[in-house]
Amino acid sequence: MKIIVHDTASGMLAMFRRPVAERRDALRELYRPLEGAMSAVMGEVDLVAMHERLGGGCRLDREDDRYLPAVRRMREAGVWQRVEETLAAAWERIDGAVPGVAHADTVHVVLVLGDPDDEHLTVRSSGYLGMGGIPGAIQLVMWPTETALARIGYAAAHELHHNVRYANVAWNPMTVTVGEQVVAEGLAEAFVRELAGERAMGPWATTLTGEELERAYRKVTAGIDVAGMANLPPYVHGDATARILGCEPVGLPDFAGYAAGLRIADAHLAATGLTAAASVALPAREVLTNAGVPTTL
């Protein structure tokens, strides 16, 4: 696998010096490396529109004197180099655990600046998030909080686990289930823990504890066979994000599916003695069965 972490720092510094009216086109060029892989799965896709509508990305319609210093801070902190190094280590571990596992020949990684006023990004997600479920493409968004600066490389590793998984596991937006999504998220966070310890894990899978986690786990596992991409956000991301996406809430806190998924992944790992790296391509049904979660998958 060839992993290319594109130098979007230079592009963003140039973009924020351009007139506001020209920034959408400049950002489109930064996203260009992802288009081939994404369009092969999603059809024609407007990544700039996604950035503006759902991605927590920096605003393109106004001046903001916070943006240039933020990009400079990320560059000075070695963010792009850290992402590259962590992805190399992550791939080495997966490749060593599952020799010959299917994967994209080349994975393009594009990191862009987030919106510091976006609550989903800066509050719920501690300043960083990613999308890597389409083989060959990893998109990362961050605002340089201390947490994001420390963990953005591990978020990339989480997304690489997804990237390899979905080169092996079929994903259909009409039939994908809560079970598949929470297994994927739980295994990816368990993989980050294998790679760098609990300190590297994201807030998504680690914030819920105690009785709140118990309630969330019961509700998520009760809906484990709910199918269809449009029906998954309330179970995976929680009510607040579901509302942003126009979905009906089901009474779950932020990222309940990640926390439940980690619990499922841990039960699977304990039952089998496998690692999260070695489990990257396992069907969700197998992981759920090993974890003792009933499913009709």
Contact 237, 255 (CB under 8 A): yes
Q: What Rg do the C-alpha atoms of the chain give, in angstroms?
A: 18
pLDDT at 245: 83
Contact 28, 48 (CB under 8 A): yes
Contact 284, 177 (CB under 8 A): yes
Q: Show pLDDT as tens, one digit a residue, over the chain (297 residues).
A: 999 999 999 999 999 999 999 999 999 999 999 999 998 888 888 899 888 876 689 999 999 999 999 999 999 999 999 999 999 999 999 999 999 999 999 999 999 999 999 988 999 899 999 999 999 999 999 999 999 999 999 999 999 999 999 999 998 989 999 999 999 999 999 999 999 999 999 999 998 999 999 999 999 999 999 999 999 999 999 998 888 888 899 999 999 999 999 999 999 999 999 999 999 999 999 999 999 999 887
One-letter amino acid for residue 23 of the chain: R
pLDDT at 112: 97
Q: Is the pTM of this model over 0.85?
A: yes
Contact 191, 277 (CB under 8 A): yes
pLDDT at 55: 67
Identify the CA nearest to 34 among candidates 132, 177, 154.
132
How many CB atoms are closer than 10 A to CB 203?
18
Which tokens hold the place of 232? 């998954």
Which residue(s) pair with 195 in the sheet? none
Spatial distance between the Cα atoms of 59 and 11, rounded to a whole number of angstroms: 15
Contact 228, 249 (CB under 8 A): no
Intra-chain end-to-end CA distance of the chain, in Å: 31
The contacts found for 10-17 with CB under 8 angstroms, 24 or more apart, are: 12/67, 12/71, 12/112, 12/113, 13/68, 13/71, 13/72, 16/67, 16/68, 16/71, 17/68
Spatial distance between the Cα atoms of 2 and 21, rounded to a whole number of angstroms: 35
pLDDT at 220: 97
Which tokens hold the place of 154? 């591990």
Strands 137-142 and 106-113: parallel
Spatial distance between the Cα atoms of 257 and 226, rounded to a whole number of angstroms: 13
Spatial distance between the Cα atoms of 86 and 65, rounded to a whole number of angstroms: 31
Burial of 166-180, coded b for 16+ CB within 10 Å and e otherwise, reads bbebebeeeebbbbb
Spatial distance between the Cα atoms of 245 and 233, rounded to a whole number of angstroms: 8
